[in-house]
Structure 1
Amino acid sequence: MSKTPSPCIDVCKFKREGHCIGCSMTKTQKSLFKQLKKDKHREAFVEMLVGQQSLMGKYRHWKPKYLRKCLKKKVKPIAAVRDVA
Structure 2
Amino acid sequence: MDTKVTDAADAAWTTAPSPCVDICKYKRQGRCVGCSMTKAEKQAFPSSGGAEQKREFIETLIGRLQESARNPAFWIMSYRRKCEREGVPCPIPVEGDDA
- TM-score range relative to shorter protein: 0.7 to 0.9
Instruction: Give 2:79's aligned amino acid.
Output: Y
| Contact persistence 2:16–2:88 (CA under 8 A) | no
Q: For residues 75 and 30 of structure 2, what CA distance do their matches in structure 1 show?
A: 17
Q: Greater helix percent: which structure? A: 2
State the percentage of identical aligned residues.
Answer: 37
- Could you tell me which residue of structure 2 aligns to residue 76 of structure 1? 90
* Deviation, structure 1 residue 50: 0.6
Unaligned runs of 5+ in 1: none
- Could you tell me which residue of structure 2 aligns to residue 62 of structure 1? 75
Q: CA RMSD in A?
A: 2.0
Equivalences for 1:1-85 in 2 at 5 Å? 3-60=15-72, 61-72=74-85, 73-79=87-93, 82-83=94-95
Q: Greater strand percent: which structure? A: 1
Unaligned runs of 5+ in 2: 1-10
Instruction: Work out which of the two has the higher radius of gyration on C-alpha atoms and give 1 or 2.
Output: 2
Q: For residues 54 and 41 of structure 2, what CA distance do their matches in structure 1 show?
A: 12
Give TM-score, length-normalised by structure 1: 0.77
Give TM-score, length-normalised by structure 2: 0.68
Q: For residues 18 and 77 of structure 2, what CA distance do their matches in structure 1 show?
A: 14
- Count of aligned pairs between the two proteins: 81
